[in-house]
């Protein structure tokens, strides 16, 4: 038995392994190494190591793919980004060094950052913190930005506010960056745009792989740089500038999410408080789109053989769509309907992400009521989730089958087709020798008698007053 007091922690073992590597390592090899250093008594030792690898705070590795890891310091080695000098850089020589945080180990001491020039000579700088108090509904908090005064280095270079500062990570662990100035006349805007797009696409792909619709910057950025072709080539902008311009993301210093994703209550308050726009889920609608017909096939999620086809105009709303679906499925009127856009996620697993569009109440009001169909931006084949009655949760999948010009003289929305119904007979009427279509299922009676019992409108009104009854959808 190894002496537990002398046994190294997983963190120590992983750090030592990471430091000794010069390239990627297969997950199998890593597990063998860890188990050799620290034998596990777990029933499934490999599973135990895998868990540790995911949980270990500040793991020195990233997953390049599910079976390959790379030490973060190698992923970040040589990573490059650009920041516009701007007025404060060009006129006062001030660079916001706290924006380098995400290109450093987590909680790296900003004061220990070292800057060198293209020849590797140290760049003299003095640091200055600027605190800003931010007032939110949740209380005051203080944000500190750290600026480096580089005027002694910048002044002889005769920089202008249109020039870019190019930053290269020389030593991620020790916080060493190389700085260069790129005069705006030497800049290749087309190439920079392509590099920005590439970095944005890499981060988007990583977000699409994430199981909970968000990624952590300290983990995702090294993965993106590890996958970036020609890492030493033209630097893309600082990732925050890239994502800001891109529009598909919402982010803060630590995490990245989908721009149209769900907001937590705290995020909602923060956006309102700081006057930032709420996520935009809708697209502008043109006059031509307003007059196009959108044909949907709406099927019950748990019984897709039951479906309705409806047509609605692009200029009409979710309130109109809700109304025609309630009519087509013969749903009761007095419940809410809710809509979500189902956005397919890329990557190995086929899954959807649900983007909330809003709900419509029985009076045709609600936060989704005014959302116009064309504004949802659906393409043919794409889907919506529609839930009627948040109590009984009757879930439908709506597939946009086709978009085409409206017909003259037709009033939309309208029902087009439906499944061929297979009706059940009312059991009470049948006992009395009559044949009537059943509209209700009595759950109480069915479970008491251990068989499915269906009733017509008249019969359900007699003898089932306190029973749990649900509508049958044909």
Which residues contribute to the site for Zn ion (CB under 5 A)?
Answer: 426, 428-429, 436, 442, 444-445, 456, 459, 464, 467
What Rg, from alpha-carbon coordinates, does the chain have? 30
**Residue 445: CB minimum distance to Zn ion, A:** 3
In the complex with Zn ion, which residue's Cβ is closer, 332 or 458? 458
**Residue 474: CB minimum distance to Zn ion, A:** 16
In the complex with Zn ion, which residue's Cβ is closer, 198 or 429? 429
135: its two tokens: 């007032």
In the complex with Zn ion, which residue's Cβ is closer, 340 or 455? 455
In the complex with Zn ion, which residue's Cβ is closer, 412 or 454? 454
**Residue 450: CB minimum distance to Zn ion, A:** 14
**Residue 297: CB minimum distance to Zn ion, A:** 32
Helix 45-55 to helix 10-20 angle, to the nearest 10 degrees? 80
Rounded Cα–Cα distance for residues 134 and 177 (Å): 30
**Residue 385: CB minimum distance to Zn ion, A:** 31
Rounded Cα–Cα distance for residues 324 and 318 (Å): 10
Contact 166, 142 (CB under 8 A): no
Contact 402, 315 (CB under 8 A): no
The CA-atom distances, in angstroms, between 391 and each of 108, 335, 336, 338, 443 are: 50, 9, 9, 12, 16
32: its two tokens: 């063998």
What is the DSSP annotation of 71-84?
EHHHHHTT-EEEEE
In the complex with Zn ion, which residue's Cβ is closer, 162 or 434? 434
**Residue 463: CB minimum distance to Zn ion, A:** 7
The number of CA neighbours under 13 Å toward the Cβ of 118 is 5
Segment holding 455, helix H or strand E: strand 454-455
**Residue 452: CB minimum distance to Zn ion, A:** 12
In the complex with Zn ion, which residue's Cβ is closer, 408 or 431? 431
In the complex with Zn ion, which residue's Cβ is closer, 147 or 454? 454
68: its two tokens: 């390959």
């Amino acid at each position: 038995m190894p002496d537990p007091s002398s046994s190294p922690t997983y963190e120590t073992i992983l750090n030592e392994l990471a430091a000794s590597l010069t390239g990627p390592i297969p997950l199998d090899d890593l597990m063998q190494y860890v188990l050799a250093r620290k034998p596990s008594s777990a029933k499934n030792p490999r599973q135990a190591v895998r868990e540790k690898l995911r949980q270990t705070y500040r793991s020195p590795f990233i997953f390049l793919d599910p079976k390959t890891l790379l030490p973060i310091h190698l992923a970040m080695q040589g990573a490059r980004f650009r920041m516009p000098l701007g007025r404060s850089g060009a006129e006062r020589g001030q660079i916001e060094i706290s924006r380098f945080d995400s290109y450093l180990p987590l909680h790296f001491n900003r004061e220990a950052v070292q800057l060198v020039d293209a020849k590797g000579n140290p760049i003299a700088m003095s640091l200055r913190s600027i605190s800003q108090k931010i007032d939110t509904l949740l209380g005051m908090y203080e944000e500190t930005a750290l600026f480096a005064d580089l005027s002694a280095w910048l002044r002889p270079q005769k920089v202008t506010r249109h020039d870019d500062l190019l930053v290269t990570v020389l030593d991620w662990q020790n916080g060493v960056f190389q700085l260069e100035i790129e005069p705006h006349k030497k800049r290749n805007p087309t190439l920079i745009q392509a590099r920005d797009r590439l970095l944005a696409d890499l981060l988007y792909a990583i977000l699409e792989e994430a199981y909970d619709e968000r990624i952590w910057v300290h983990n995702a950025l090294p993965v993106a740089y590890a996958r970036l072709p020609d890492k030493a080539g033209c630097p893309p902008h600082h990732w925050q500038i890239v994502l800001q311009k891109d529009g598909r993301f919402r982010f803060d210093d630590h995490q990245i999410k989908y721009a149209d994703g769900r907001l937590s209550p705290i995020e909602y308050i923060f956006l309102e408080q700081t006057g930032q726009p709420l996520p935009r889920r809708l697209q502008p609608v043109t006059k031509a789109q307003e007059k196009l017909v959108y044909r949907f096939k709406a099927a019950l999620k748990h019984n897709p053989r039951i479906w309705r086809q409806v047509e609605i105009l692009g200029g009409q709303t979710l309130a109109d769509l809700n109304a025609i679906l309630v009519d087509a499925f013969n749903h009761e009127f007095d419940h809410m309907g809710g809509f979500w856009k189902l956005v397919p996620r890329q990557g190995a697993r086929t899954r959807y992400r649900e983007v909330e569009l809003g709900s419509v109440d029985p009076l045709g009001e609600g936060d989704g009521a005014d959302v116009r169909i064309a504004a949802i931006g659906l393409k043919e084949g794409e889907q919506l989730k529609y839930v009627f009655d948040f109590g009984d949760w009757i879930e439908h999948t709506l597939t946009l089958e086709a978009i085409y010009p409206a017909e003259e003289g037709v009033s939309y929305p309208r029902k087009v087709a439906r499944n061929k119904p297979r009706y059940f007979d009312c059991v009470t009427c049948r006992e009395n020798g009559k044949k009537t279509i059943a509209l209700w299922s009595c759950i109480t009676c069915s479970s008491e008698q251990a068989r499915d019992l269906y009733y017509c409108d008249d019969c359900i009104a007699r003898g089932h007053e306190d029973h749990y009854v649900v509508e049958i959808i044909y």
